[in-house]
Amino acid sequence: MNSPNLEDMGCGTSSATKDKKSEKALKAALVIQNWYRGYRARLKTRQRYALTIFQSIEYADEQGQLQLSNFFSFMLENYTHVQEKEPGLVTRLFGSSIQDKDRQDYLELIEIPDSYCGPRLQFPLTFTDIDLLIEAFKQQQILHAYYVLEVLFETKKVLQQMPNFTHTNTSPSKEITICGDLHGKLDDLFLIFYKNGLPSVTNPYVFNGDFVDRGKNSMEILMILFVSFLVYPNDLHLNRGNHEDFMMNMRYGFTKEILHKYKLHGKKILQILEEVYTWLPIGTIIDNEVLVIHGGISESTDLNLLHRIERNKMRSVLMPPIPMDGDRAEKKNKLGTTTVAQGIRTSGSFSEQLTKQEWEQVIDILWSDPRGKRGCYPNTNRGGGCYFGPDITSKILNKYQLKILVRSHECKPEGYEICHDGKVITVFSASNYYEEGSNRGAYIRMSSGTTPRFFQYQITKATCLRPLYQRVNAIESSAIRMLKERMISRKTDLIRAFQLQDRNKSGKLSMGQWAFSMENVLGLNLPWRSLSSHLVTTDKDGNIDYMSGFQDVHIQKPVKEVQSTLIETVYRYRSDLQIIFNIIDSDHSGLISMEEFRSMWKLFKSHYSVHIDDSQFDELAERMDLNKDGSIDFNEFLKAFYVVHKFDQLTKSDTKLA
């Protein structure tokens, strides 16, 4: 009997069908995979554009902050009777290093009430105080002002004994951890300690500056770091960043945080903190091979000189050295502009400041950024320090027999970045720096003879991370919101630039004309063509309705009769004005006289070439003197200028209707 033919029974057909189905499934999987890769790439591009917006606006703000140094010189030359009426103001701005304050003068009048239920520190401090502080801050308790001042005084005393660069050594069995900017983000510090362990003799750390500002828990971070430093002074190393600067704190939030949390003794804390900053070391050198500094280097960086300078004379980047006595002196400063001093006299002398060369060396260390382009050229984005290329890195490292430069200062999407053929490492430890989901944080572990290891993390309030598209939408929305606020603050200038291009008065421009005008006025170096769909409407021919960019946003007018140009100007310069008023307001009362208010505005208007009639500002000032006592609460005055987004109003309306 013949055996049955399997093909005749249909088995072969079934196998072929299966092969065809498998092939179709594979093709479908590849199509889906390619689609998803493209979708994810588009999301990542959107995220990258959003981060570019955040960073461009951040750097533009820093540039404005650095330009204030010229204004303070100008102010001292022109502020009527400033030296006779306000000698303390001159000393605060350009005087010698701060006189030592007696600890008892600060502490003897401060009592810790029995009702205080926060952490109580025991001096001399031990590792149990670190634990105590961390647990208290996790419970959102506030450390009493008495202990804050004690910690600051003790920290200053120990820092004064330290060199400008801390030298430390590792071994294969004793790695060191390097953390970058924390910027008041306490949860990131908690996570680092949870994953990596608390500082100790066997677990040393370097914290590479910018502990404070921007985040809401700068004081808590500072106290944890200072207490840990006092317990382990040889194993926890603190480098100064560009935000360890009392003038930067006025703009970026830490001063406000201190005065809010310590209403009675905040002024004392600020005074001592200003001194502590000046004594923080400039950098750390690990195993004589790794240079750890906050910002970067320049072609003229001289580590031998930086080892010798009296670092405590560097009070603020906004206070470049100028002659304190004598005739007119003119010079170029590191910020690339000319400052002029004429006959300014204080109790200090020129010898009590850093020299111009020393000051510029420190500016480079705190403010510079690496770039792929060779050479060394001005850091035009930030307005201070320089951009340094791979050739500069090799030159400086070789000159001092070093192998690696570890720096921070720049937010990176993954928390760290390696460049210049592996010789420069950027580490940034504040996750969600711009917006939740905007970036990871990271820290580095390294030891002699081993490759650096990177550890990444991202704090999230939710139990699990939101999908990527939701995170990108939130980041993008926040970035566009900031950009529109920037646009509305320059509305008059932008419209003038648009109209110059719009010769037919059609209300429309080509994409190229619009992008050129945006960059020319705002100077943010952004991909305007790619961003146009988020900012303006475009017709079917690709022409842009340039007024559409202002339709859904406006600056709230505290006084309706005041012209829009004045409102835009005050809004645009509100951060600068707040710092200037804070400097005048030496007792932190929040009040300045109408006369001082007008005088400062006239000087500001003159220096910044603001073309607005004084009568408009006078009328605005009088309207803002609510109780007619001749004084203005300048913080409330500046808060009155804010941007209203129509989308926000619609959201609120929807919420009410729901």
Q: Say which residue the tokens 């308790």 belong to.
A: 141
HSE toward the beta carbon, residue 438, CA cutoff 13 A: 24
Answer whether 76's CB lies under 8 Å from 604's CB. no
Integer Cα distance of 499 and 382 in angstroms = 30
Q: What is the pLDDT of residue 1?
A: 54
Q: What is the pLDDT of residue 277?
A: 97
- Which residue type sits at 42? R
Contacts of 522 (CB under 8 A, 6+ apart): 486, 487, 490, 494
User: Confidence band (pLDDT; 50, 70, 90) for 397?
Assistant: very high
Q: What is the DSSP string of 303-364?
A: HHHHHHS-GGG---TT-----SSSS-EEEE-TTSSEEEE-S---S--GGGS--HHHHHHHHH
Contacts of 503 (CB under 8 A, 6+ apart): none
Contacts of 312 (CB under 8 A, 6+ apart): 97, 160, 275, 278, 279
Give the residue, 237 or 466, on which the prediction is more confident.
Answer: 237
User: Confidence band (pLDDT; 50, 70, 90) for 612?
Assistant: confident
List 243, 265, 294, 409, catalytic entry? 243
Integer Cα distance of 618 and 412 in angstroms = 45
Q: What is the DSSP string of 474-526?
A: HHHHHHHHHHHHHHHHTHHHHHHHHHHH-TT--SEE-HHHHHHHHHHHH----
Q: What is the pLDDT of residue 657?
A: 30
pLDDT digit string, tens, across residues 512-567 = 999 999 999 999 999 999 999 999 999 999 999 999 999 988 887 766 666 778 88
**Quick check: 304 pLDDT over 90?**
yes
Integer Cα distance of 404 and 521 in angstroms = 39
Q: What is the pLDDT of residue 12?
A: 56
> What CA–CA distances, in Å, run from 190 to 134, 185, 368, 444, 458?
8, 9, 29, 16, 12
190-229 per-residue burial string, b: 16 or more CB within 10 A, e: under 16 = bbbbeebebbeeebbbbbbbbbbbbbebbbbbbbbbbbbb
HSE toward the beta carbon, residue 149, CA cutoff 13 A: 24
pLDDT digit string, tens, across residues 329-379 = 444 445 544 333 333 334 444 456 889 899 999 999 999 999 999 999 999
HSE toward the beta carbon, residue 269, CA cutoff 13 A: 26
Six token digits for residue 497: 């630039």
pLDDT digit string, tens, across residues 14-23 = 677 777 778 8
User: Confidence band (pLDDT; 50, 70, 90) for 323?
Assistant: low
Q: What is the pLDDT of residue 560?
A: 67
Catalytic (active site) residue 243: yes
Integer-rounded Cα radius of gyration of the chain: 29
Six token digits for residue 575: 């951060």
Q: What whole-number percentage of the chain has pLDDT above 70?
A: 85
Answer whether 121's CB lies under 8 Å from 227's CB. yes
- CB count within 10 Å of CB 20 equals 10
pLDDT digit string, tens, across residues 168-188 = 999 988 999 999 999 999 999
Show the domains of the chain with their CATH numbers. 122-322+354-457 (3.60.21.10), 479-550 (1.10.238.10), 564-640 (1.10.238.10)
Integer Cα distance of 549 and 534 in angstroms = 9
Most confident listed range (9-23, 411-425, 625-639): 411-425
Q: In degrees rounded to 5, what are phi and psi of residue 634?
A: -70, -25
> What CA–CA distances, in Å, run from 373 to 11, 72, 248, 393?
67, 34, 29, 12
Phi-psi region of 436 (alpha: psi -120 to 50; beta: other; left: phi over 0): beta
580 by Cβ neighbours in 10 Å (0-12 / 13-18 / 19+) ranks as buried
Q: What is the pLDDT of residue 94?
A: 53
Q: What whole-number percentage of the chain has pLDDT above 90?
A: 57
pTM of the model: 0.86
Beta strands in 514-648 (DSSP E): 537-538, 544-545, 553-555, 591-593, 631-633, 643-645
Q: In degrees rounded to 5, what are phi and psi of residue 555?
A: -90, 125
Q: What is the pLDDT of residue 650?
A: 42
- CB count within 10 Å of CB 555 equals 19
Contacts of 487 (CB under 8 A, 6+ apart): 494, 522, 535, 549, 550, 553
pLDDT digit string, tens, across residues 201-225 = 999 999 999 999 999 999 999 999 9
Largest CA distance in the chain: 126
Shortest CA distance to 297 belongs to which of 366, 400, 213? 366
Phi-psi region of 592 (alpha: psi -120 to 50; beta: other; left: phi over 0): beta
pLDDT digit string, tens, across residues 239-261 = 999 999 998 998 899 999 999 99
- CB count within 10 Å of CB 51 equals 21
**Quick check: 653 pLDDT over 80?**
no
25-50 per-residue burial string, b: 16 or more CB within 10 A, e: under 16 = eeeeeeeeeeeeeeeeeebeebbebb
Give the residue, 47 or 335, on which the prediction is more confident.
Answer: 47
The DSSP element (H or E) to which 152 belongs, if any, is helix 145-159
Answer whether 203's CB lies under 8 Å from 196's CB. yes
Measure CA of the first residue to CA of the last residue in the chain; give whole Å: 82
Give the residue, 344 or 104, on which the prediction is more confident.
Answer: 104
330 by Cβ neighbours in 10 Å (0-12 / 13-18 / 19+) ranks as exposed
User: Confidence band (pLDDT; 50, 70, 90) for 319?
Assistant: confident
Answer whether 170's CB lies under 8 Å from 286's CB. yes
Q: What is the pLDDT of residue 495?
A: 96
> What CA–CA distances, in Å, run from 333 to 61, 96, 268?
19, 19, 32
Q: In degrees rounded to 5, what are phi and psi of residue 126?
A: -130, 180
Give strand pairing partners of 545. Answer: 508, 537
